[in-house]
Structure 1
């Protein structure tokens, strides 16, 4: 009886239970209808019955369905009248009228034949349960007037039995048909169903009493029926205000969080059963350049754009997916039953493609694009809050890389609990100047042509009290996007200048290079701090040099130009670090007051066995020479590389071939040994093997 097309739309694991349920309801309903037919009265029924029957059939042409609900959740006003007929005239007349109402409603709503019969079967079972309660409770024959307290209680229990059978069978049907969580369905529909069904069923005994007084009172039931409809709709609207975004009509943040929590429960069960689609994705979508639309065309057009974007996302996703607006121009999509990150990325790619199509508003085609961050449960978080946070991290990663989609990666997450803990410990260490932990090591820089020590690079070290040595790159990643980075930079400047003063007092004048974050140069604080410390310790500005990474400089060269200019006027030299990896333009090299460029170690390390790396280093040396810049090669680890650098004309080298980074108190003894060895070797340049 169920169509082949319908069977094919139900997954295999639910198909057999669904068909079994349909068969059981049809069989049970047929049995109740058989009993009801035997109870049809032989005599003619009163006018009140015919009035109730007519209103019931007509009313079901317009069932109660709140906005956004499936038709499977519609409530039919006929039940008030057919339940009243059940009370007054028995099971046979009640089911006869209900059958007529089902025919009208099915025709009006274009239901398939099997569905109309299935609905009638549900009604038959519900009325059969109510009739059984009435029989057992002594409410047969039903007294039209003068009900006792016990009989009233029996009627209430009968309505509960009717509701339990009807609502329970509908919930189970939807669960098997659409795969929706029964608990989620109960929570989502219970208020609406209980209010409407309860009000309609409990209105029935009042209607019976009114009909007994005068059939003319029966048509007045239309007014309370409409009131029930309005009451239920208002209740739904009130619930919706807390679950829906008022502008787009999409789910809001609380609704998304609730739905995601339910998906955690569902997918834990799927994972336990070994289902390959045991993951779900949470995608955050942030529109690009939305502020430009608001500024240029006004907030009204901006709101229209948000509505259109919401509709476009909704049209792109599947029936199981949930689209939500979180606020502003940020949307979210909950995508269940995924196999992993690759499928989630492909899904996000389809959303990005849908957003890329221009939107025509106010006669203008507006280009809309978005950055989409993807997090997958449980790979990227077992809890909803963690999943949301990591989807947000991925979204900002996509924005920074100008990519439409990014999947969460721990490397992009600067605020994991571990990193936050590390950051707190770093802040504590920096707030205690005398405490051990944050220190500086120094690596000598050697003139390639002469072997003379021309400077040192100050390198950050941190000995964590529990974790031990923290790698410098990890330390910078933890601090660079926070206010702690400024504290760290100022601490390094103070420490290095003070150390230069201690060396000067010991008779050693040496230049020190210090690495700074590009964010430190966005204001003049660093230049002022350096000037103050140099004056305090009486250190010539030429003895301090700042290193700025090329990649960071390329991200925002204009904002740092003023600070670099101030440092240049002060006499502090600027070195461009990691040269060759940040795609500097010649325009930047020409405009910025640079003293040197440092060739990235990735090129220097490969010079001895890779002709391309050797050619790149040679080209950098030639370019820098043409611009009057000194060239420093870092990562020099063997004699062959050193000789190639000398042949290319490189000015300065540093690396393990000459010396490893060392604490400040070891530098002067090392310099003494190095210079003595240089005198002993004559023209040969000393290196680390000589000093070992």
Structure 2
């Protein structure tokens, strides 16, 4: 189809050229010495045509000869301009190693655009360079500017039509906006032509001076092209950046329902390097940058020509590639893993490269770039949590659905305004040998205005990695210590545990807040206990240790929650200033009927006793479980056997009315 289009365009251009030759216009033009000078300069200018990298990664070619051929059009008519432009197109094709058909198509496009512009020039004077009066001059300026505009519009339309006739190109791809620097450069060449024509009319000796402004215009266009390219490139690895990745995604799956429906499937792969921070800390950022460059090179080597690799920042990379099935995407991920399996040698050291790869597919996991990227991000973080090299997105693993995000927004609003029913309830903790209440655990409760009570685990799961988690912790600290002060005033002195997240342990604000509130309410520090989850210790313990030590130094006890679920090292139990460990309810619930759970519970109790730690069992629902825990040597229990969590104001009355069962 493109060949037929080129043939038709060439026929139209040839007819225009023949007509100008028949009328004698061509012979009149070529008889002038100025014509030959401009023609020679046009061919010479195209010997170094301006080449930039377009948004699709393909070279964008702009021919400086346009300035000279448009001047010839103004001075000597259409025929000479078409002839010179055809020769210049041949020079460009030879330089760029284009096939002859491409040269013919270029020449034909220029010829038809010039013919359209020549038609507009008919509204000006018969001789543009011999202006009689001011009105003629104004009319000539308007006609020349109009001719340049028509040339530019016609040429862009012809390029778009050529794109539509190219197999595999969609309408959205063809109609994507042309880079601004390209349009400005072409417009500058066209508007320099009248200056060149007037210069040639006065004296051809001044014509070569046009190369100075021509070079300046080309230099500015080149800088704009490079700036446009750098806006889509990562300067360190020379891979695409997020903008370049989005452009690659949109090329493969253009906007619009029809275009997206016809587009092939694609895979988005997010690659996050493991333990990259240790390389930076141990060897320095310069070595870390060299490692990132090596990763970028290996990433490129693992991809086919139709795939795009990008660095999103830090040690996070991404790939967009055509993929019809999940198996295709996994095959690409495995190729990337294989490419990075060989250690990189940096300063004589062999550095192993491993990464976690999350995969999302379009259109299965989303139609637009933002959605597919977010789903790949969810899969990547899940891979890191599970210690797997590759993880494909599953909707059931996504805890960040729009509904959950809306829930988080409502909860934030409730915390900030106090309009929602956000409260703390307190669940008793009972000494197993004596049956005496020894403390409480503060548990968050929220009743949504329309959805009713929201399960705490659901709320904390979506808030864990957001600033809302810090708001929750601040609220809990303030309310627990204030409640302790009220209990002390009523004669009740029992320890209360409150939960904090890993985010809270990365700074010293939590320590300052606890000590400030303890002093403000005059609450002894030993009545407050901070619970940290065991999973937090799988992070960089060195960053958390300082905060944990400061909390303990303030006299506040530290409890390790959910013990047995976080895969932490036993060294943590020895190195951290812990007072107790809490056995996760999943093990407690199975102690009565699962021999493995019973062994885990007894082993945990023995280990804790050897280290001088108190043991608390969560989720005790019946007396039989309580008896087995007592026999195993467990110290404290909490659960519905004793009481559900209750508001703080109800604790004193409950202590008086409900003796604790032994």
Which TM-score band (shorter chain)? 0.7 to 0.9
Q: Is the 8 A contact 1:64 1:229 kept in 2?
A: no
Deviation at 1:600, TM superposition (A): 0.7
Deviation at 1:111, TM superposition (A): 0.7
1:57-68 aligned within 5 A: 57-66=43-52
Q: Is the 8 A contact 2:145 2:191 kept in 1?
A: no
1:682 counterpart residue number: none
Distance 1:526 1:344, change over 3 A: farther
Q: Distance in 1 between matches of 2:343 and 2:23?
A: 66
Secondary structure class of the residue paired with 1:616? helix
Q: Is the 8 A contact 1:458 1:513 kept in 2?
A: yes
Q: Distance in 1 between matches of 2:512 and 2:39?
A: 86
Indicate which of 194, 197, 202 corresponds to 2:194.
202
Q: Does 1:22 align with 2:11?
A: no
Distance 1:293 1:611, change over 3 A: closer
1:580 counterpart residue number: 564
TM-score, normalization by structure 2: 0.74
Range with bigger deviation, 365-374 or 644-653: 365-374
2:440 counterpart residue number: 457
Q: Distance in 1 between matches of 2:289 and 2:537?
A: 37
1:76 counterpart residue number: 63
Unaligned runs of 5+ in 1: 1-15, 679-684, 686-692
Distance 1:271 1:426, change over 3 A: farther
Indicate which of 109, 125, 150 corresponds to 2:96.
109
1:369-408 aligned within 5 A: none
1:600 counterpart residue number: 584
2:425 counterpart residue number: 440
Deviation at 1:499, TM superposition (A): 5.1
Q: Distance in 2 between matches of 1:593 and 1:100?
A: 84
Distance 1:643 1:89, change over 3 A: same
1:274 counterpart residue number: 261
Distance 1:322 1:595, change over 3 A: closer
Deviations 1:548-573 (A, max 9, x none): 43223454363355346536xx5x65
Q: Is the 8 A contact 2:301 2:339 kept in 1?
A: no
Q: Is the 8 A contact 2:53 2:229 kept in 1?
A: no
1:164-183 aligned within 5 A: 164-174=153-163, 177=166, 179=170, 181-183=173-175
Deviation at 1:275, TM superposition (A): 4.0
Q: Is the 8 A contact 1:175 1:181 kept in 2?
A: no
Deviation at 1:110, TM superposition (A): 0.8
Deviations 1:258-311 (A, max 9, x none): 959x94997440368634658895969789647965995676x77777777667
Indicate which of 192, 197, 218 corresponds to 1:232.
218
Distance 1:194 1:86, change over 3 A: closer
Secondary structure class of the residue paired with 1:74? strand
Deviations 1:428-467 (A, max 9, x none): 54xx9xx9842332335252x66x2343432324445846
Q: Is the 8 A contact 2:430 2:637 kept in 1?
A: yes
Q: Distance in 1 between matches of 2:627 and 2:89?
A: 95
Deviations 1:236-274 (A, max 9, x none): 4147547635955969989669959x9499744036863
Q: Distance in 1 between matches of 2:383 and 2:489?
A: 47
Distance 1:312 1:39, change over 3 A: farther
Distance 1:633 1:341, change over 3 A: same
Range with bigger deviation, 368-377 or 41-50: 368-377
1:244 counterpart residue number: 230
Q: Distance in 2 between matches of 1:101 and 1:281?
A: 43
2:475 counterpart residue number: 488
Deviations 1:624-649 (A, max 9, x none): 34545443322222455445445544
Q: Distance in 2 between matches of 1:489 and 1:288?
A: 34
TM-score, normalization by structure 1: 0.71
Deviation at 1:578, TM superposition (A): 1.5
Q: Distance in 2 between matches of 1:250 and 1:57?
A: 35
Deviations 1:75-131 (A, max 9, x none): 223334444444555444443333333333222221112212212222332233344
Distance 1:53 1:453, change over 3 A: same
Q: Is the 8 A contact 2:89 2:107 kept in 1?
A: yes
1:140-539 aligned within 5 A: 145-146=130-131, 148-149=136-137, 150=139, 153-174=142-163, 177=166, 179=170, 181-199=173-191, 201-203=193-195, 205-206=197-198, 209-210=201-202, 217=205, 220-225=206-211, 227-238=213-224, 240-241=226-227, 244=230, 247=235, 263=250, 267-270=254-257, 274-275=261-262, 277=264, 289=276, 296=283, 329=314, 335=320, 411=399, 416=405, 418-429=407-418, 437-445=422-430, 447=432, 452-463=435-446, 466=449, 468-474=452-458, 476=460, 478=463, 483-498=470-485, 500-501=487-488, 504=491, 512-517=496-501, 523=508, 524-525=511-512, 528=515, 532=519, 536=522
Q: Distance in 2 between matches of 1:349 and 1:479?
A: 31
Deviations 1:44-65 (A, max 9, x none): 8344444443333343322222
Distance 1:166 1:333, change over 3 A: farther
Q: Is the 8 A contact 1:283 1:348 kept in 2?
A: no
Range with bigger deviation, 399-408 or 268-277: 399-408
Task: Give the length in aligned residue pairs.
Answer: 636
Distance 1:662 1:29, change over 3 A: same
Larger Rg: 1
Range with bigger deviation, 364-373 or 590-599: 364-373
Secondary structure class of the residue paired with 1:659? coil
Q: Distance in 1 between matches of 2:34 and 2:67?
A: 14
Unaligned runs of 5+ in 2: none
Deviation at 1:169, TM superposition (A): 1.5
Q: Is the 8 A contact 1:341 1:376 kept in 2?
A: yes
Secondary structure class of the residue paired with 1:603? helix
Q: Distance in 2 between matches of 1:595 and 1:79?
A: 82
Deviations 1:328-353 (A, max 9, x none): x4777684877799988887776677
Q: Does 1:96 align with 2:96?
A: no
Distance 1:78 1:465, change over 3 A: closer
Secondary structure class of the residue paired with 2:442? strand
Distance 1:442 1:657, change over 3 A: closer
